[in-house]
A and B are shown apart, each in its own frame.
Chain A
């Protein structure tokens, strides 16, 4: 069974204090890894898609990277508005093409 594990479960940072969130997976033949942001009471919102090891994507203070076993979401000089739950999801290959597996998320709190 495909497994996606995110760590830490919760992360509290001071404004400006950079850090990284981890998403490790056991899917073989990964077709894509997605990062989403979820604010309280709302549906997840797409951030990045990564397809192959070594790939990197950036958006404002966020940078996502991918290796063969895990992905990192790096947050540089975070601001309070970056506070949210960050979810990663993987798409397996082949006959399970329509299935997606999400991690439990990392809840980030950035204090001013």
Chain B
């Protein structure tokens, strides 16, 4: 089944403790992206990747890192999480960014205390 898999689904952590949210797609998609969704602010893009070893900032990249060493994986790294990073995170992929729809994972709900 074609899918985008995020792990974990739920994560509670403390301020400053490094964490990684994994994202994997099995559709051989070139483009992958991370979003956060907050009430009243909608979906905001954090980072995206057009291909392996090619990443770029979205609208809200501060406090996040990403890497794209393999085509299928696009982990999101929070090196020193803070409470304002408490949010619902979505990973998405598409065949090609130009005119392909995004396929989303089911989200990771992160709480930073």
Contact = CB atoms under 8 A, between A and B. Distances in A.
Given A98-B56, A99-B59, A42 B97 contact: no
Interface of A: 31-32, 34, 36, 41-46, 49, 51, 87, 89, 91, 97-105
Contact of B101 (A34, A42, A51, A97): A34
A43 B97 contact: no
Nearest to A45: B104
By secondary structure, the B interface counts as: strand
Contacts of B31: 98
Closest 7 CB pairs of A and B: A43-B104, A46-B101, A104-B42, A102-B43, A98-B48, A44-B104, A32-B99
Interface in B25-60: 31, 33, 35, 40-45, 48-50, 56, 58-59
B90 interface: yes
A87 B98 CA distance: 19
A98 B41 contact: no
Contacts of A31: 98-99
